[in-house]
Chains A and B, each alone.
Chain A
């Protein structure tokens, strides 16, 4: 029989922050050159930290992408600024 108390659960803690200081200027759109093994989800994770934002990259590159699953090494993709 263990006397160890269960660890408190902090999974429902809500946090936030705000500041009187201005936010840094958003970086401008970037250009990324596709390398072997890339896909839009992977690139999205690299730039936004979230693979699910691949559609933003797809929409920004509709002029050269017809199929989001087809990108090629050497292709230069516009990466919209992180919001």
Chain B
């Protein structure tokens, strides 16, 4: 009978010990806080291509630097990054420095984007050298030279 009492006592102590152990078990670590969203990349012009045709994505189909007198000439300006407002200017000039055309496009890119500028001359381009300078928010972002044969 005494042995039975010890056995019951031992069981009770074991149960208490197990319960305490369970309650002292370390709490599960909280899930890691969500990483903050990466800051948007700063806006920049990543490429300028010239061509005589563009696709629906505004990219020139076949980049080149030599055009026919009757071509419409496209400058496809690839940009990266986000900005609430960016003013892109394409300044087209002839070899003698004469201004051919200046076109402005204001955009609010949220990521990679393509902006196209184009010029056409109904009676044909005079042969010679030309260039287009792309200006982003007042700073030159690149120049491309081309020839009209």
**What is A's interface to B at a CB cutoff of 8 Å?**
7-8, 10, 12-25
Contacts and interface: CB of A to CB of B under 8 A. Distances in A.
B9 interface: no
B147 interface: no
Contacts of A13: 92, 100-101, 119-121
B24 to A, nearest CB: 57
20 contacts: A10-B99, A10-B121, A12-B123, A13-B120, A15-B90, A15-B102, A16-B103, A16-B118, A17-B90, A17-B104, A17-B117, A17-B118, A18-B105, A19-B115, A20-B57, A21-B79, A22-B107, A23-B106, A23-B108, A25-B108
Nearest to A19: B115
A12 B113 contact: no
A30 B2 CA distance: 96
Q: What secondary structure prevails in chain B residues at the interface with A?
A: strand
Interface residues of B, number: 36
B63 interface: no
Given A21-B109, A22-B107, 6 more contacts: A10-B94, A12-B123, A15-B92, A15-B120, A19-B113, A21-B115
A19 B120 contact: no
Given A18-B116, A20-B115, A21-B115, A12 B121 contact: yes
A80 B49 CA distance: 38
Question: Which of A8, A10, A12, A19 gathers most chain B CB within 10 Å?
Answer: A19
Which A-B residue pairs are the 5 nearest by beta carbons? A21-B113, A19-B115, A21-B107, A8-B126, A21-B109
B96 interface: yes
Given A10-B101, A14-B121, A17-B103, A24 B96 contact: no
Contacts of A10: 94, 98-101, 121
Contacts of B109: 21-22
A33 B77 CA distance: 40
B149 interface: no
Contacts of A24: 84-85, 106-108
B122 interface: yes
Question: Which of A10, A16, A17, A20 gathers most chain B CB within 10 Å?
Answer: A17
